[in-house]
Structure 1
Amino acid sequence: MDQARWVQTVNRVMKRDWCINTMDAGLSDADLARYWRDGDEPAAFVAWFAEKHDLIRFDHNPFRPGRA
């Protein structure tokens, strides 16, 4: 996967799960290039980043039935 597509996918996963994108997360182009070169899949990178920074998952529908 080329770098542009990798970053696009990372942004999509971050937006879906954490309601932020790479810019909101403070990731520079140099940071993204380095992480892309590490070879992790986008979802694995986002999971690592979220754990490292103790992000709180975005719940798309917190009021659905059956939720406490």
Structure 2
Amino acid sequence: MKDRQIWVMEVDRLMRRDWCIGVVDAGLDATELTKFWGYGESSAEFVAWFAEKYDLIRFEPLPIRSSPSKPPASA
């Protein structure tokens, strides 16, 4: 069953990275995850299917901006 555990961990990692939710947040329990794992799809294929089925909005992190620079001092 170790392969299933690795698959579930990868599903959780991908969901957190792309959708900001984990498997628990998505309402997936061990029984459901075992069923989906048994279909033989990769973790990425499952996450893509799940996101499409539930019309998830992809998480896009905000770009890191530097502090606004101060204008030059007027003389």
User: SS state of the match for residue 20, structure 1?
Assistant: coil
1:50 and 2:51 matched = yes
4+ residue segments displaced more than 6 Å = none
Segments of 5+ residues of structure 2 without an aligned counterpart are 66-75
Secondary structure in structure 2 of the residue aligned to 1:51: helix
Task: Report what 1:60 is aligned to.
Answer: 61
Q: TM-score normalized by structure 1? A: 0.87
Q: Can you give the 5+ residue segments of structure 1 that lack an aligned partner in the other structure? A: none
Give the match for residue 27 of structure 1: 28
- Size of the aligned set, in residue pairs, is 64
Q: What is the percent sequence identity of the aligned residues?
A: 53
CA-CA distance at 1:61 after TM superposition: 1.8
Change (3 A) 1:32 1:60: same
The two structures have a TM-score, normalised by structure 2, of 0.79
Q: Which has the larger radius of gyration?
A: 2
Task: State the Cα RMSD in Å.
Answer: 1.6
Please report how far the alpha carbon of residue 25 of structure 1 lies from its aligned counterpart in structure 2 after TM superposition. Answer: 0.2
